[in-house]
Each structure stands twice: as structure tokens, then as C-alpha cells.
Amino acid sequence: MTKSDQLAGRLTADIASGRYPVGERLPSQAELRTAYGNVSRTTVMTALRRLTDQGLIRGGQGSPAVVVAKPGEAVGPATAAGIGDLRSALREAFEADEITMDVLSLTSETMATYLGDPVVLITQREIKPKSIRLRLMLPDITGIKLAFPRAVLPDGQESQVSDWSRPRHRDMVIRYAKTLEHSLLTLRDRGLVADVSVQIRTVPFTPPLKLYLLNGDQLLEGYYTLTTWQPEPPKGEPELTILDSDSFSADATLFRYTTPQHSVKVETAQRFFDSYWDNLAQEADFSQT
């Protein structure tokens, strides 16, 4: 159980006992940090987010949250998915002693971007996980032609025009995957985390969504919506209209589900990932690219 889980449990008990009555505000985050054992700001924020997910409190952005229900009386937010962000979700996940991350992605760009935060905290010895396991599932960039990204060409011109969007995407996939692998294995090599495992596999289709399963109790998923655009071509290559996802941005919408409120959703997503990992995905081989 993480520190944020422990704090969320204590706050829930205090709401149930009437220490924090319905309709009244909780203490400020700074006051909560002191009152509950000088915990970190991240721990307090994560615990408050859990109580919000459970429908016990509301608000808390810039002012103390308001208690809106006792345990067992909450309605609304406890059954609805929230809008999440991967940066906060990773920070929360890395409070655990044993960390698991199962990821399905088109490039793993967002994951590579935001994993840097907890890696820095580990390097600074602010958090000390015992083990980290990453299973990363990416599209096959060598054996198939992906549905996107690709050039939009008139019929009959596919063989006449060089579609430079495909090798560009291939390079992105390799770069970000190797960045993730290097970042995590370096923690092991430096003696900062004793047990680190990174597995990368590919599947023979274009993922229509990005999916992050963290520690088995948190799911974030977002959808790749398509658009066409005309990026600057590599030197010496023609200008092309490219069919691509507009969801590469780190700010793209992710829907967040947590247990126990969304256990069926999280468990179903885990079975989905495991079934593709075990039965379809193949070990990634970037040496031939």
C-alpha cells in the first residue's frame, strides 16, 4: 500500500467519523501534510484525487476541498471515468515499492516524455522503489504497412512516390523505445533499483488507442483520432499530405479509471493487454531497421 493509499484511508475514516463533516472544507494541503505525518505534497494531492474519484470531496484546486458525502453515501464521480494525465498517474504509481507498467502505444512518445519525472526522483533518492517492470507493446514497423501515418496519394501513384512518413515514424518508434529502455535499465545499473525488467514486443496492426495500465489498479486510455496535414519534408523529398494521428500531444485527452470504483473496466483492460501480449505480440527486433 502506497503512502497516498494510507493517507486516503485515514482521511476517509476521519470523514466517516465526522471529524470532517459533510458541507465543510478540509484543511489546506499544507495543513494536511503536517497533520498526517509530514507527508509530501504529491502524496496529499494523490490522496485527495482518490477521495474525489470516490465522490467524497469536491474542488481542491487552489482552495481546500469540500466534503460532499460520507463513505457509502457517495454518488456520481465514484462510477464515472475521470480525465487523467499520464504525468500525475506515473508519479502516483511510482510511490509503490513494486511498480508495473503495461503500455500499448503507436510510438510511446508520451510515456518517454513523462517517465523522466519519476526517474529524476529516484536518482535524487526521494523515492526508492524495489522493482520496476515495463511491458511495452508497439506496432510492427518492419513487417507490415501501418494504416497511419502514411502519405495520401492518388490511385496508381503509390509506387511512384517515396512515402517518407513511414521511415520517419519507424525512427520515432525506435528512438522512444530505446529511450525508455535506457532510462530504466540505467537505474538498475547504478544500483538505484535492484530489480528492473523492460520487455518490448510488437503487434501486426496499427493501434487505434493508447493504453496505460499502472500497478494493476490504474488505467488510462485515449484514442488516436485521424487528420491530414502537410509537415515539412526531409531534405530532397517531395511535399506530401500525411494521414496521421492528432493525438501525439502530451495534452491529448486520456480517460482515467481506478480500482475499486472501476474494477471491471481495469480488469477487462488488463485481460485485453495480456491476451495480445501472450498470443499475438512478438519480441521486438530493431536490428533489421
Q: Residue 71 corresponds to which cell in the numbers above? A: 463513505
Query: What pLDDT shows up at residue 81?
Result: 57
The separation between CA 56 and the C-alpha centre of its own chain, rounded to angstroms, equals: 25
Q: Where in the chain is the domain with CATH 1.10.10.10?
A: 3-67
| Separation between Cα atoms, residue 142 and residue 281, nearest integer Å | 14
Q: In this structure, are strands 98-104 and 131-139 parallel, antiparallel, or unpaired?
A: parallel
Question: How far are the Cα atoms of 68, 224, 253 from residue 72, in angstroms, in the given order?
Answer: 12, 37, 30
CATH code given to domain 3-67: 1.10.10.10
Where is pLDDT greater, at 233 or 12? 12
pTM over the 0.85 mark: no
Query: What pLDDT shows up at residue 77?
Result: 46
Paired strand residues for 87: none
Q: Where in the chain is the domain with CATH 3.30.870?
A: 82-288
Query: Which SS3 state, helix, strand or coil, does residue 76 take?
Result: coil
Ramachandran region, residue 233 (left: φ > 0; alpha: ψ -120 to 50; beta: rest): beta
Pick the CATH number of 82-288 from 3.30.870, 1.10.8, 3.40.50, 1.20.58: 3.30.870
| pLDDT over 70, % of the chain | 89
Question: How far are the Cα atoms of 30, 53, 68, 195, 207 from residue 62, in angstroms, in the given order?
Answer: 12, 18, 18, 39, 38
Mean pLDDT of 197-207: 96
| Separation between Cα atoms, residue 133 and residue 84, nearest integer Å | 22
| Separation between Cα atoms, residue 98 and residue 195, nearest integer Å | 9
Give tens-digit pLDDT for 263-289.
899 999 999 999 999 999 999 987 655
| Separation between Cα atoms, residue 100 and residue 213, nearest integer Å | 8
Query: What pLDDT shows up at residue 78?
Result: 43
